[in-house]
Structure 1
Amino acid sequence: MGLLDALLGNASESDINETQEELLRILGSNERVERAYAIIRDQIIFTNKRLILVDKQGVTGKKRDLMSVPYRSIERFSMETTGHFDMDAELKIWIRGEAEPVSKTFRNDKTIHDVARALAEYAL
């Protein structure tokens, strides 16, 4: 991920091997990271078994909230692209048992399409 992209809030694809190493302690024995995207400090990670949403918290980002979502629990998702005056794109994921969708904001349309395509491949 480029530093400029991170500062601007643009999402970018993360290194799969590095992400696998970071999550080694929570991954199942036959689980592997297949795709990973970074949005500022947060991450959206697709493994062969589940979706992991990482919300880095605090000043240093050392504290992390990890939400593990089995693909079968994803009920639906939507994507809102940018417009002329609204420069933010938004991805919403409805998870079974949750009242509100998980929402992630992107600063452009470039990566949101990749993430939506990955959601379609894994959740449908």
Structure 2
Amino acid sequence: MGLFSGMIGNASQRDNDKVERQLEDILIPDEQVNLAFVLVRDLIVFTDYRLILVDKQGVTGKKTSYKSLPYRSISRFTVETSGHLDLDAELKIWISSAAEPAEVLQFNSDHNVVEIQQALAEAVLR
């Protein structure tokens, strides 16, 4: 599964300028952050060209994994909202013609997953 697989948390919107400064070594010239969410200590970042998933690893979070998914490579995605017994919401993202999702993101709130799904739909379907 993906790097956020199994992580449950609430996503909250993050300041774009702050995220751009944090990702200055990752972004290409003139690439701008359009929308960013923090999920525990990880980031979900929408730029002009791609979705960047930032995974802070280890106890200190010093080791960091950056996963770039160009919007043109995302072939489909699904959203599963929470129910009465299943309390978490889930967003799955597939790349090209892969049978298994490249990423599985889990959230405590339907509001969080719906907001991120709307941003993903806008980026992928434009």
State if a TM-score over 0.5 links the two structures: yes
Offset, 1:97: 6.3
1:4 alignment counterpart: none
Could you state the TM-score of these two structures normalised by the residue count of structure 2? Answer: 0.87
Q: Which runs of 4+ in 1 moved over 4 A?
A: none
Query: Percent of aligned pairs with the same residue?
Result: 52
User: Once superposed, what is the RMSD of the aligned Cα atoms?
Assistant: 1.4
Q: Distance between the aligned counterparts of 2:93 and 2:123, measured in 1?
A: 13
Cα distance in structure 2, aligned partners of 1:96 and 1:57: 27
Q: What is the one-letter code of the residue matched to 1:90?
A: E
Change (3 A) 1:68 1:14: same
Cα shift at 1:98: 4.8
- Number of aligned positions between the proteins: 117
Is residue 55 of structure 1 aligned with residue 55 of structure 2?
yes
Report deviation, 1:22.
0.3
- When residues 115 and 61 of structure 1 are mapped into structure 2, their CA distance, relative to the original with a 3 A threshold, is same
TM-score (norm 1): 0.89
State the partner residue of 1:123.
124
C-alpha displacement of 1:99 = 5.0
Structure 2 partner of 1:107: 108
C-alpha distance in 2 between matches for 1:96 and 1:56? 26
Shift of 1:44: 0.9
**What secondary structure sits across from 1:117 in the alignment?**
helix
